[in-house]
Amino acid sequence: MKKTVILGALTAAGLSAGAAGAQTLDAVKERGTLNCGVTTGLVGFAAPDANGEWEGFDVGVCRAVAAAVLGDPTAVEFVPTTGKTRFTALASGEIDMLARNTTWTFSRDVDLKFEFVGVNYYDGQGFMVPKALGVSSATELNGATVCIQTGTTTELNLADYFRNNNMEYTPVPIETNAEAQQQYLAGACDVYTTDASGLAATRAAFEAPADHVVLPEIISKEPLGPLVRHGDNDWGDVVRWTLNALIAAEEYGITSANIDEMAANGNPEVKRILGSEGDLGAMFGLEADWAKRAIAAGGNYGELFAKNIGESTPIGLSRGLNAQWTEGGLLYAPPFR
Amino acid sequence: MTTLSDPPQSAFKPSMLLNDTRYRGYTFQFIALVCVAALFAYLGSNLLQNLRDAGLVISFNFLGDAANYDINQTLIEYNNQMDHWRAALVGVLNTLLVSFLACITATIFGVFAGVARLSQNWLMRKLMSAYVEAFRNVPVLIWIIIIFTVMTAVMPAPRDFRGEDAAASMVLFDSVAFTNRGVYVPKPIFGPGGWAVVLVFIASLVGAVWYRRYATKLLYETGKLLPTGWPTLAIIFLPAILAYFVLGQPISLEYPELGGFNFTGGINILGSLIALWFALAIYTGAFIAENVRAGILSVSKGQTEAAASLGLRPRRIMNLVILPQALRVIIPPLISHYLNITKNSSLAIAVGYMDLTGTLGGITLNQTGRAIECILLLMAFYLTISLSISAIMNVYNNSVKLKER
């Protein structure tokens, strides 16, 4: 009996691993929809709106890929994943790509056999505390109770940070951002820690955002980006260059408003991106206007940023590191040729 | 007179495997066995093939790497530089702790509610059936979340205890604080000789059990009735109290005090532990209540009447006549309820209690990505725990079940 149970579990794992082996690009085209893993809900990055339509910065990447591959930005099946379930969902083939505030780390890339196709948000881990506590620096947090999403890199950074600074803390492990928010507001923890962008998004959803401060310390590098499974390089290329197209579009001034004009009259690089000169799309099995469709889906990188998480939104993130390299930021798309 | 001889044995022929009813059953069972084995072999090799294709190999080496994460309740020494294996052990102990507490509490709730459901008192009877029906028919996960949410929402945060006119205050001579992070209670500090007092107390407990057994034996053999209530209490507490003062009060209490962010000192019983513990106890208690009721009803009414005609009072009838017989019906399902409690404790992650599923099956799995290995280990752990509980309880069951002579 013992054996049967174990083998049963292996069976389930084995069958799902089998499904993952197929070529993803063909599978997506045949299915007609893209299965895109997102968070269970983080306002600004990925959350359903009042009509149940998913929207946000990460969602924008999913839609761009769907537009590039299928020609339809709405042909996306959004699969909400938690910090715990995301990698299993991707490894088992339940989702084709994951666009979910996931930090690019060595072990995830090498050991877990995933492929990060780029960075769509350069982030770092921060701390948020109620203003009433009178804390102005993370170095004053000795003895605090800290809410933390379990199974994330932030959990490990937190342990490192407190160990390096010889401070004690009590972790309160929590599965989703919504639960963390509720616990934090109820005072069950003094501090909430996650990526600074996530803190900003969470705070924006509070009734009184001004009662909470994000401490100045950023204790880690968190390059967040979409990822796919290892070993399916064609699919990896599609997702990587869709993201690059969004970034390059901003650099060259291609917006969703002027895209047709740019395709006709832009410089050669712009024309190559938009498919009106040469045929880059054919190299990986997509139509010539793949990038044009991706950019038209939600706008270029800058438009997506401004619409979902930028300074004019309640989340109010400044571009900072996420500005174009020409503006002193880190965004840099390789040449399209 | 003719003698009966055995019918002549015909030689075994292969066709008899199908035609002879003596062999046919074995033939088909053998075929089925081969098919099942082949199926599993195929699935197993498929799994290994796929893992190899994905570049993944099954390896348990990750258990020796530093875990790098912290756990909020550790019964053994643990810090984030210890390995994943140690973190898994912390989880096992946390699972065992909450299961043990919940099993005891569920049994108390269950026996009380089960007996009370048969009470002559209308109100008592109806209240208990309401309890049983309400708790049995709502999933335990919902109860865990309800209790936890109510606790965090209703209880004051530690910062409410601060200041001159604090919104909340400690109870029991300022020694216990109920907060939304759990309950802070005083922690005993053992001076020299402190452990001797504990040993005396444990010895008294054994002595009390022995005394009650002796009293029962004496009652059954000679009919002489010794008092059990106050002597038990006296045996348990008097020697320990005496030892405490003779040894010069070696145990003192460390009271929780408001420190920087939290209470410091004392013991913090986590809110998640309390929520999980009570939810499991109340939920399973409702099932146990039904078992107890069934057990009592299974004892013929004539037994009660016969005992009453001997002049026994209702409480003694219950203790001496009904319950010993009812136990035979109650114990076997009780074993499976204890197993259920242990398995249901894996819902702990809903409230962030770091049990085995939270450490090995949660953070370790997630940080290392070794899903198959972690799940195999999880299954092995739970199987071991469950089989152990089952074995221990079966020993007890053998001691109370009907002796056939």
Binary contact (A143, B261; C-beta < 8 A): yes
CA torsion, ordered A229, A231, A237, A239, to nearest 10 deg: -10
Least confident of A13-22, B170-179, B232-241, B387-396: A13-22
The structure tokens listed for A5 are 């149970």
Binary contact (B54, A91; C-beta < 8 A): yes
CA distance A220 to A222: 6
Q: Which of A13, A145, A173 sits opposite B47 (nearest CB)?
A: A13
Please tell me the pTM assigned to this model. Answer: 0.77
Provide the β-strand partners of residue A103: A224
Question: Other C-beta atoms within 10 Å of A186: how many?
Answer: 17
What residues have CB less than 8 Å from A314, skipping those under 6 apart? Answer: A43, A44, A204, A205
Q: What is the mean pLDDT of chain B?
A: 86
Read off the amino acid at residue B277: W
- pLDDT tens for each residue of chain A, 337 residues long: 344 444 444 444 444 444 444 489 999 999 999 999 999 888 889 999 889 899 999 999 999 999 999 999 999 999 999 877 888 889 888 999 999 888 898 988 888 889 999 999 999 999 999 998 888 888 888 888 999 988 788 888 999 999 999 998 988 888 888 888 888 988 888 999 998 888 888 888 888 888 999 998 899 998 999 999 988 889 999 999 999 999 999 999 999 999 999 888 888 899 999 988 888 988 988 999 999 999 999 999 999 999 999 889 888 888 888 999 999 999 999 999 8
Q: Are A296 and A259 in contact (CB under 8 A)?
A: yes
Q: Are A245 and A301 in contact (CB under 8 A)?
A: no
Res B268: pLDDT: 84
Read off the amino acid at residue A243: L
CB-hemisphere CA count at 13 Å for B266? 22
pLDDT single digits (tens) B288-332: 999 999 999 999 889 889 999 998 888 888 888 888 888 888 888
Q: Which residue of B has its CA nearest to A108?
A: B369
The structure tokens listed for B12 are 């075994």
The structure tokens listed for B64 are 């020796």
Distance from CA of B146 to the nearest CA of A (A): 14
Average pLDDT over residues B102-130: 92
Largest interatomic CA distance in chain B: 113
**Strands annotated E in B227-324:** 251-254, 257-258, 263-264, 267-270
Q: Which of B271, B354, B379 sits opposite A6 (nearest CB)?
A: B379
Binary contact (B68, A156; C-beta < 8 A): yes
What residues have CB less than 8 Å from B61, skipping those under 6 apart? Answer: none
Read off the amino acid at residue B208: A
- Phi and psi at A170, nearest 5°, equal -115, 115
Q: Are A101 and A58 in contact (CB under 8 A)?
A: yes
Task: For an interface test with A, give the residue of B50, B74, B144, B276 to mutate (most A CBs within 10 A).
Answer: B50
pLDDT single digits (tens) B151-197: 888 888 887 777 666 767 777 677 788 888 888 888 888 777 778 88
Q: How far apart are the first and last CA of chain B?
A: 44
Higher pLDDT, B343 or B253: B343
Read off the amino acid at residue B228: T
The structure tokens listed for A331 are 């965004």
Q: Are A228 and A235 in contact (CB under 8 A)?
A: yes
Q: Which of B43, B68, B160 sits opposite A7 (nearest CB)?
A: B43
Listed by number, the residues of chain B in 324-363 with a beta carbon closer than 8 Å to a beta carbon of chain A are 349-350, 352, 354, 358, 362-363
Q: Are B218 and B226 in contact (CB under 8 A)?
A: yes
* Secondary structure of residue B62 in the 3-state scheme: helix
Res A304: pLDDT: 94
Res B1: pLDDT: 60
Binary contact (B369, A107; C-beta < 8 A): yes
Res A8: pLDDT: 46
Comparing CA positions, the residue from B268, B384, B114 lying closest to residue A188 is: B268
Binary contact (A170, B44; C-beta < 8 A): no
Binary contact (B153, A132; C-beta < 8 A): no
DSSP A236-296: HHHHHHHHHHHHHHHHTT--TTTHHHHHHHS-HHHHHHHTSSS-HHHHTT--TTHHHHHHH
CA distance A333 to A245: 8
Res A18: pLDDT: 43
What residues have CB less than 8 Å from A171, skipping those under 6 apart? Answer: A146, A148, A155, A158, B69, B70, B71, B72
CB of B150 within 8 Å of a chain A CB? The answer is no
Binary contact (B80, A20; C-beta < 8 A): no
For A99-145, where are the alpha helices, taking DSSP H only? 106-110
